[in-house]
Chain A
């Protein structure tokens, strides 16, 4: 098991270098001098521009810039963004907010998705199943930003159940509305995956055996059907955590959440290479770790899967 984890962690290195190199190159290839653009129509003295360019290594060729970035990264010094703020500090501000949002969304979609999916799967073709299927199709079909605006308008402005935006006071309660919006689309997928998996496993031999042994219905459902049905769902949820972290841009924009998405959006607007790549690097790590956790969960869900050969 330890060897498996180590091997997986070693894989991070090429993935990490590959992604950061690509992203860094794409930012580098953006036309226009980001420093000059900071000042708009009115240009400051050339010495100000030149000093800033030197400070951010923008006068160096691509490979030197990227090399310096990597060097800084490995010495845990992310440097400053174009406004002179330390990048590390701003990552420390935005990541917890987005992590809260993503975890809340993940919890919503996992809990409700699995519960609804099991109910629907157990009574396939019933009224609950049909209703849920149609509803989930609607949710999948509507784009996130539409859902976001509608929820904001209905629950935030008209009903007044929640503040329509999050702003400076991001906590579990204020993040609930954006988390629901963010989690809703994946919720529909989780539901459908669980339903399909459950209804398939209902007819499996081991379920018939368990029932024949005289086990109670809840025990059959929870210990036998659900445990086996969760394998594809867990795979999906794991991959989804990374997606939630990175994909929150739209939701964070609508609800003005001071998180990764908003920061990334501003950094892209300002062509701030180091900030963009730093954020993306952390997202890569989140993806890799989430997938590692999924693989470890497999072993617990299905002891037949052996990693330690």
Chain B
């Protein structure tokens, strides 16, 4: 999932190993135990948000503000608990003998809030709709591993007389051949290749079921969505554009995420500042977006009313392979030297007010299967002498072209300048080279350079997990030809290990392969892992308890009110 500018601007906080109020909220069955402290179960919570960018169709919602609403309106086959563990929800069972042929049993008796029953066919229809290129669903590619996806998602490209290339949807099939509903409660899925972590994805919004009305008129439905989740729209038009979205508890919901409050009203803010002021005067109940100047003060401003928990979001400094200074044997030494020259510990402490944790691998620690101390991960330690030494060694093989300063490309509208300055200073002081930020007003400008492979130096990059799996932090970012592998890193050995991991029979086996794959990344260093983020939230006097999930999203359904 993408970062928004604001979420980047947060300067997200990581208080390491912060033991929060436990993991009761997501696991189900904790409802009774906490009911004595639950307070008023009918109170409506007001929460910070902003205008969603698209109509509220689950498969077309890729940004955070639409995503948080969709996640409350819908329930999928699985849900993720507060620790990121995938647990079955609408699925009775999900099984596969070979990680390629999957059988999913759907619980019977589940309904959308308009009364329509949810069967195996509901899922098959919704997924085929989402994957079909004609429907232009942003998250359609989540179905790419299912057999028959290339046919439903096909496009044709033509070059016009003016040399402009246009791509138009041209599916050659309406349904994926590998996806079938064999009876009311059984879905069979055949993947194009074995993928051990496929079932972990089923809690992601792209896989939510949609009622038939949604498929008939997506646009109208997206304005007034009908779902099956813990909350629902109280009436048509509950989405007041540019102002708010109101949700009320869905009393018929039976799942892991039963609402402990009467509803959630998302109030839209274009800036986190006024929201912070509103929270101070109990005019707003909860926010996960703090103004950057509040990062130093939020704990004292909201004593006992704040929480900070590590989330599955990381930052890296990418080194494009096409930069001649970083190619070959000399390049390899230089990449290591750069990594040794960054004082992650100090920057996390000074620039981020001790609110990020230095990276330990290419995936954040909150992900299941994460392993510390992978071979090669010692490059993440700060060691000025070693950095200088490696740099000198590299210069003996091939002299460094010092005619221009080493630039680090970044948009500056998201509060990145400070830490990049700190990193650049580290390069200057420890390697004796010139380094500076290459500033851009907007994120899109940097993206253009990265896409066209024209970066003069390094670039900042970040990844937020779509679903809690190691693979999700490696495949889409570093695999050959992957959609977000903008710097076009490619290593056949790495690709092979990823593939082997996906083909594993068990998650443990798969994770072992993925960790081996990370060791290759540590050898090649196509990017330097920097730090992992945590998400601070604060709440008003009306709220008694709140927490965030594995991906930093507030667990709105678990908020209890006075």
B415-466 contacts to A (CB < 8 Å):
440-445, 447-448, 451, 461-463, 466
* Residues in A whose Cβ lies below 8 Å from that of B155: 45-47
CA–CA, A83 to B60, complex, Å? 11
CA–CA, A164 to B219, complex, Å? 36
CA–CA, A269 to B140, complex, Å? 26
Say whether, besides A41-B484, A258-B242, A269-B5, A164 and B283 are in contact (CB < 8 Å): yes
Residues of chain B at interface, number, CB under 8 A: 61
B279-335 contacts to A (CB < 8 Å):
280-281, 283
Give the contact stretch, choosing among A30-38, A113-121, A133-141, A183-191. A30-38
B243–A38 touching, CB < 8 Å: no
* Residues in B whose Cβ lies below 8 Å from that of A45: 133, 140-141, 153, 155
CA–CA, A250 to B520, complex, Å? 50
A36–B53 touching, CB < 8 Å: no
Say whether, besides A38-B53, A256-B270, A47 and B167 are in contact (CB < 8 Å): yes
CA–CA, A106 to B443, complex, Å? 38
State whether the Cβ of A214 lies closer than 8 Å to any Cβ in chain B: no
B141–A32 touching, CB < 8 Å: no
Contact with A along B52-73 (1 / 0, CB 8 A): 1111000000110000000000
Q: Chain A interface: which size bin? A: 35 or more
CA–CA, A285 to B275, complex, Å? 33
| Minimal Cβ-Cβ distance residue in B for A50 | B167
B115 to chain A, nearest CB (A): 28
| Minimal Cβ-Cβ distance residue in B for A255 | B274
* Residues in B whose Cβ lies below 8 Å from that of A168: 240, 243-244, 267-268
B483–A43 touching, CB < 8 Å: yes
B444–A254 touching, CB < 8 Å: no
Contact with A along B3-18 (1 / 0, CB 8 A): 1110000000000000
State whether the Cβ of B350 lies closer than 8 Å to any Cβ in chain A: no
B244 to chain A, nearest CB (A): 5
State whether the Cβ of B1 lies closer than 8 Å to any Cβ in chain A: yes
A133-167 contacts to B (CB < 8 Å):
152-153, 156-157, 160, 163-165, 167
CA–CA, A84 to B271, complex, Å? 22
Cross-interface CB contact of B283 among A50, A163, A266, cutoff 8 Å: A163
State whether the Cβ of B235 lies closer than 8 Å to any Cβ in chain A: no
Cross-interface CB contact of A51 among B168, B466, B484, cutoff 8 Å: B168
State whether the Cβ of B98 lies closer than 8 Å to any Cβ in chain A: no
Contact with B along A84-110 (1 / 0, CB 8 A): 110001100110000000000000000
CA–CA, A263 to B241, complex, Å? 11
List of 5 A-B pairs having minimum Cβ-Cβ separation, nearest first: A40-B2, A32-B444, A37-B444, A168-B243, A256-B274
A: residues with CB less than 8 A from B are 30-34, 36-48, 50-51, 54, 59, 82-85, 89-90, 93-94, 152-153, 156-157, 160, 163-165, 167-168, 253-256, 258, 262-263, 265-266, 269, 271
Q: Name 9 interchain pairs, CB-CB below 8 A, sorted by A.
A: A39-B138, A46-B155, A51-B167, A84-B219, A90-B242, A163-B281, A164-B280, A164-B283, A271-B442
